Amino acid sequence: MKPNAHWKTQFGDQFLKRGFKIVTDKVLKSPQSGSMYPYGFYFEKDLEIQKYYQNYFEENINRLENYPELLTDVKELFSAPDFHLKSKAVNILAIFKLYF
């Protein structure tokens, strides 16, 4: 729908967008098809990216030795199958690498 009228943008935001998300996530079981951020899709398909994340995690996990609770949380995040949780763990390690 062209967003040239206020009712069209409200209708699109409230119904069409939600409907498309429900269809892609629940019915088709492919949430990456409805996402504007295809990082998870690329992560799943490319072994080089997976190896890079694994190596980065292994090389920098020792930076959290002084923070045992954070260490267990980051390990738990990285062991999750979801890409977004893995990237959060790597982001935490990158912050510690830069600032601590």
| 14 alpha carbon, distance to own chain's centre | 24
Count the Cβ atoms, other than its own, within 10 Å of residue 43: 19
Q: What percent of the chain has pLDDT over 90?
A: 51
What distance in Å separates the CA atoms of residue 19 and residue 35, rounded to the nearest whole number? 13
pLDDT level of residue 22 (50, 70, 90 thresholds):
confident
Confidence of residue 10 (pLDDT cuts 50, 70, 90): confident
pLDDT at res. 3: 76
- Mean pLDDT calculated for residue range 44-64: 96
- At residue 35 the predicted structure's pLDDT band, cuts being 50, 70 and 90, is low
pLDDT at 43 over 70: yes
Cα separation, 38 vs 94, whole angstroms: 21
Question: What's the pLDDT band for 44 if we cut at 50, 70, 90?
Answer: confident
